[in-house]
Structure 1
Amino acid sequence: MRILVLYGSYRSDRLGIRLARFLVDRLGAMGNDAALIDAKAVGLPFLDRMYKEHDEGAAPVAMEALAQRIREADAFVFVTGEYNWGPQPGLKNLTDHFLEEWFWRPAAIASYSAGRLAGARASSIWHAILPEMGMPVIPSTLAVGPIAATLDADAQPTGEAGASLERQFTRFAKDLLWWAAAAGAQRERATPPY
């Protein structure tokens, strides 16, 4: 499966990148083509025009390349931190540049924070956003907190919190892959209704 792991913090000392890298590594180890899409590295401008609002061939190069990668993906994982009870603006901005490109593929949510709530409030907001953008959200989620006690600087699990993440990941990944296979099979059988 081609899986995009999307991450959106622009902070200089961002810790959530550890979770994004962990997910890319573990999904890849399962035989998937998993890739990190880092909003900071992609560098899309603050939303003015969506991809579809540009004339054909006139979208910025980074936007055009990302649109193609999104269309080719089988599933998505949104790695979200929590800023003032809400989602990170960088990830939301990247996501909002596209619409139809997301349709008919499942999304999973992995949240994190420095504290014990593990980004749960941002996760719940993404549960409302992603279906509106044409992505069914899988039932399993990952919630990691405190992030610094769970993954080290090399994105390797550490201590009891890291062991718990390893156990949670297996169900999370199997759930995502099941939904991606189901969606792919249905797209082969029938044209989506819109």
Structure 2
Amino acid sequence: MTTATHSAPTTDARTQKAAAPLRVAVILGSDRHGRFGPVIADWLLAHVRGREDLTVDVVDVAEADLPTAFSPHHEPAVRERLARVAGQIDAADAFVVVTPEYNHSFPAGLKNLIDRHRAEWEAKPVAFVSYGGISGGLRAVEQLRLVFAELHAVTVRDTVSFHGAQGHFDDEGNHLDPAGPDAAAKVLLDQLTWWGHALRDAKEVRPYGS
């Protein structure tokens, strides 16, 4: 009888992967008409794209248009959308969730996206950029930390939050007083990058859960 064997990645292969930029998925969590989320997401994406150690993909809940029902009998077009989003999440090394706050929590469409995946989130870091009124979306972030902990993801401690968000950006999407938010974005992305490398490297040595 012939037994198949699986060799561990070589030192050179591990070194190359460790040096490769992290793949960050920015998740735009609101799907409401007239949402302000794209302004916040574009601001964040400019910071991510300005870094050589990160590459970025965007997962927009509104564009994904995922069904709310869980069924094995979805139409082909729906299955294609589900597979595309699952592939984006699985390929990512790290995530930044951009979320508003609805009734002390986060949007239903975002929860639907999260709940449709499990292994794709495991042992990966998640950071948060939130926006809203007086709370700046921070209560939504606290709820999301509980959800991602259940999915074995690691949430980054520091956040970026915009209180009264619409009053802080001009018509072109530029922040009117960028120094503070820019500094906060750097801290968030630095922490996300550290955790992303640490967890990606660890999984190369020992698969998560083993």
Pairwise same-fold verdict (TM > 0.5): yes
Q: How many corresponding residue pairs? A: 187
> Matched residues in 1 for 2:91 and 2:130: separation?
24
In structure 2, which of residues 48, 51, 64 is the aligned counterpart of residue 42 of structure 1? 64
Give the aligned partner of residue 88 of structure 1: 107
Answer yes or no: is 1:170 the counterpart of 2:186. yes
Alignment of 1:103-118 (within 5 A): 103-113=122-132, 115-118=133-136
Contact 1:157 1:163 in 2 (8 A): no
1:14–1:26 Cα change, 3 Å: same
> Matched residues in 1 for 2:171 and 2:36: separation?
8
Structure 2 segments unaligned to the other structure (5+ residues) = 1-21
Please state how far the C-alpha of 1:163 moved relative to its aligned partner: 2.7
TM-score for the superposition, normalised by structure 2: 0.82
Answer yes or no: is 1:149 the counterpart of 2:167. yes
Superimposed CA distance per residue, residues 97-156 of structure 1 (whole angstroms, 9 cap, x where no aligned partner): 11111111111111110x231011111101111111121101111111111123334432
> Matched residues in 2 for 1:102 and 1:41: separation?
20
Contact 1:8 1:38 in 2 (8 A): yes
Contact 2:57 2:88 in 1 (8 A): no
Q: Percent identity?
A: 27
Contact 1:18 1:153 in 2 (8 A): no
1:47–1:164 Cα change, 3 Å: farther
> Matched residues in 2 for 1:129 and 1:33: separation?
25
1:154–1:97 Cα change, 3 Å: farther
Give the aligned partner of residue 122 of structure 1: 140
Superimposed CA distance per residue, residues 31-85 of structure 1 (whole angstroms, 9 cap, x where no aligned partner): 2211221100011111424xxx68xx99700111111111111101111111111
> Matched residues in 1 for 2:28 and 2:169: separation?
16
Contact 1:19 1:79 in 2 (8 A): yes
Contact 1:4 1:70 in 2 (8 A): yes
> Matched residues in 1 for 2:69 and 2:192: separation?
29
Contact 2:136 2:161 in 1 (8 A): yes
Q: Secondary structure at the match of 2:157?
A: strand
> AA paired with 1:152?
D
Give the aligned partner of residue 14 of structure 2: none
Give the aligned partner of residue 11 of structure 1: 32
> AA paired with 1:75?
A
When the two chains are superposed, the root-mean-square deviation of aligned CA atoms in Å is 2.1
> AA paired with 1:164?
G
Answer yes or no: is 1:136 the counterpart of 2:154. yes
**Bigger Cα Rg:** 2
Give the aligned partner of residue 193 of structure 1: 209
> AA paired with 1:24?
L
Answer yes or no: is 1:61 the counterpart of 2:83. no
TM-score for the superposition, normalised by structure 1: 0.89
Structure 1 segments unaligned to the other structure (5+ residues) = none
